[in-house]
A = this chain, B = another copy of it.
Amino acid sequence: MTDIPQDHPRYESLLAREKVAAGVKMGITSIQGLIAQGRGESFDYLIGERSTESALYAERAAVAALLLAENPVISVNGNVAALAPEKVVALADITGAKIEVNLFHRTDTRVHLIIEHLKASGASEVLGKNPDASLDLSHDRRLVSSKGIYTADVVLVPLEDGDRCEKLVKMGKTVITIDLNPLSRTSRTATISIVDNVTRALGNMAKLAQEMKKEKKEELVKLITSYDNKKAIAGAISEIQEHLKTMIAEVEY
């Protein structure tokens, strides 16, 4: 990886870029994953590269859902594995969630490499190598594990594509997504739509889970029943509009 000075104003963003590029070299991230990373960079720039109030609101509800779930699963793709493997493992450990690798551009080698990468980051079990169930989709995102995503009641799918998100919601699951575009089909169809950078969101969620684990079950239930996803998305949209205005005001003409 290229050495990036820690005091660089865009350190986190540049580091993430290096991690995804390294993921491609390691064979865990697809070429398309790099383009997706770039798309995310732009939206993160528009939102001010910070976890907004609406993002934290959604993250709190998401953690409550994971903590209350009977069979929570975190779905991992090549970008998530490259960007934040330790954060995935930490969140899974604290919430008792399973980890399952699920790829759009699936090859057995990539699945294997991602599983090994997650294990090197501390994961004990990772599903996804031998999918024995199938969602009603035409692409490889359909291949799932019967004890993982297929039977999960709560699924965290960071960096998801719109049609699998829709399918999982239709199956009656609580679907938590992390997507920086609040207008994407994924954000619009999820049960809990987190509009945040995936590294920041997973970090926040692991921290929140540590604290919220001590709370009473009723408190967590209350958090979920009072949660309004439309409010979260509308908040994210107006935060982008506000930040855009701030940026425009800062530019001198």
Name A residues whose Cβ lies closer than 8 Å to a Cβ of B: 17, 20-21, 24, 31-32, 34-43, 46, 181, 183, 188, 230, 233-234, 237, 240-241, 244, 247-248, 251, 253
Contact = CB atoms under 8 A, between A and B. Distances in A.
A31 B21 contact: yes
B247 A234 contact: no
B20 A251 contact: no
Contacts of A34: 31, 34-35, 38
Contacts of A37: 35, 38
A132 to B, nearest CB: 28
Given A21-B32, A24-B31, A247 B39 contact: no
Contacts of A244: 240-241, 244
Given A17-B35, A37-B38, A183 B248 contact: yes
Contacts of A36: 38
Given A39-B41, A183-B251, 7 more contacts: A17-B32, A34-B34, A35-B37, A38-B39, A38-B41, A42-B42, A183-B248
**Number of this chain's copies in the complex:** 2
A31 B32 CA distance: 11
Contact of A38 (B24, B38, B234, B251): B38
Q: Lowest 7 A-B CB distances belong to which pairs? A: A38-B38, A42-B42, A34-B34, A35-B38, A38-B39, A39-B42, A230-B253
Contacts of A38: 34-42
A226 to B, nearest CB: 18
A188 B37 CA distance: 25
Contacts of A40: 38, 42
Nearest to A17: B35
A45 to B, nearest CB: 8
Contact of A35 (B41, B46, B181, B234): B41
Nearest to A20: B35
A188 B248 CA distance: 11
A179 to B, nearest CB: 12
A42 to B, nearest CB: 3
A166 B43 CA distance: 25
B251 A188 contact: yes
Nearest to A30: B21
A20 B36 CA distance: 13
